[in-house]
Structure 1
Amino acid sequence: MGSIEYSAEIAELLGRVRRRPTAGWPWRPGEPVPQGLPVKQSWGWLFVPDGRVLTLVNPRDGVVSLPGGSLEPEDAGDPALALAREAGEEAQAVIGTAHYLGYLYDRIGSANGGHECARVRMAAPLHAVGPTAPDPASGRHYRRLLVAPGLAVELLGWGGPGLRQARAAVEVAVRQLGIPTAANETIEELPADGAVLG
Structure 2
Amino acid sequence: MPQLTDEAVTDEVTEATAPVHRAAGGEHDPGRPGTWMTPEAYGASRAALWTGAVVLVTDTDGRVLLQSVDYREDRLLPGGAVDAGEAPSGAAAREMREELGVEGRYPRGLAVDWIPAGAPGFAPGMRFPGEILHVYDGGTWSPEQTAAVRLPAQEITGIGFAEPADLPALMDAGDARRTLSALRARVNGGGTALLEDGRPTAPTALDRLGVLRTRRVPHHGTWHPGPAPAHLPVRGRSGWLFAPDGRVLLLIARATGAAHLPSPTAGPTTGAVPLGYRYTAPDAGGPPDRHGVHPRTAARLTAVGPAADPARARLLATPEQVRELSDWGPAGHHELAAVHAARARLSLPVPARTPLTELPQEGVRW
What is the TM-score when the length of structure 2 is the normalising length?
0.41
Q: 1:36 to 1:127 in 2, by over 3 A?
A: same
Q: Contact 1:56–1:142 (CA<8 Å) still a contact in 2?
A: yes
Offset, 1:191: 1.0
Q: 1:106 to 1:158 in 2, by over 3 A?
A: closer
Match in the other structure for 1:47: 242
Offset, 1:22: 2.1
Kindly report which structure 2 residues correspond to 1:111-190, keeping only aligned pairs within 5 A, or say none. 111=289, 117-134=292-309, 141-175=311-345, 177-180=346-349, 182-186=350-354, 187-190=356-359
Secondary structure of the corresponding residue to residue 56 of structure 1 = strand
Amino acid at match of 2:352: N
Match in the other structure for 2:281: 107
- Which deviates more from structure 2 when the two are superposed, residues 166-175 or residues 16-25? 16-25
- CA deviations on 1:9-66 (whole Å, 9 max, x unpaired) are 4142354333424242111123x43342233421111111111011100010110000
Figure out how many residues of one structure are paired with residues of the other and give that number: 164
Kindly report which structure 2 residues correspond to 1:87-106, keeping only aligned pairs within 5 A, or say none. 87=266, 93-106=267-280
- Which deviates more from structure 2 when the two are superposed, residues 34-43 or residues 119-128? 34-43
User: Are 1:193 and 2:362 an aligned pair?
Assistant: yes
Mapped partners of 2:240, 2:296: distance in 1: 8
Match in the other structure for 2:173: none
CA RMSD of aligned residues (A): 2.6
State the structure with more CA Rg.
2
Kindly report which structure 2 residues correspond to 1:2-21, keeping only aligned pairs within 5 A, or say none. 4-5=189-190, 8-13=203-208, 15-17=210-212, 18-21=214-217
Secondary structure of the corresponding residue to residue 221 of structure 2 = coil
Q: Contact 2:247–2:318 (CA<8 Å) still a contact in 1?
A: yes
Mapped partners of 1:146, 1:39: distance in 2: 26
Offset, 1:160: 4.1
Match in the other structure for 2:74: none
Mapped partners of 1:151, 1:39: distance in 2: 26
Amino acid at match of 1:57: I
Mapped partners of 1:106, 1:24: distance in 2: 7
Q: Contact 1:13–1:59 (CA<8 Å) still a contact in 2?
A: no
Q: 1:184 to 1:19 in 2, by over 3 A?
A: farther
Q: Contact 1:96–1:124 (CA<8 Å) still a contact in 2?
A: yes
Q: 1:34 to 1:183 in 2, by over 3 A?
A: same
Q: Contact 1:27–1:105 (CA<8 Å) still a contact in 2?
A: yes
Q: Percent identity?
A: 36
Mapped partners of 1:154, 1:130: distance in 2: 26
Mapped partners of 1:15, 1:141: distance in 2: 13
Q: Contact 2:248–2:319 (CA<8 Å) still a contact in 1?
A: yes
Offset, 1:130: 1.7
Higher relative contact order (CA 8 A, sep 6+): 1
Amino acid at match of 2:332: G
Offset, 1:125: 0.8
User: Are 1:25 and 2:221 an aligned pair?
Assistant: yes
Amino acid at match of 2:348: I
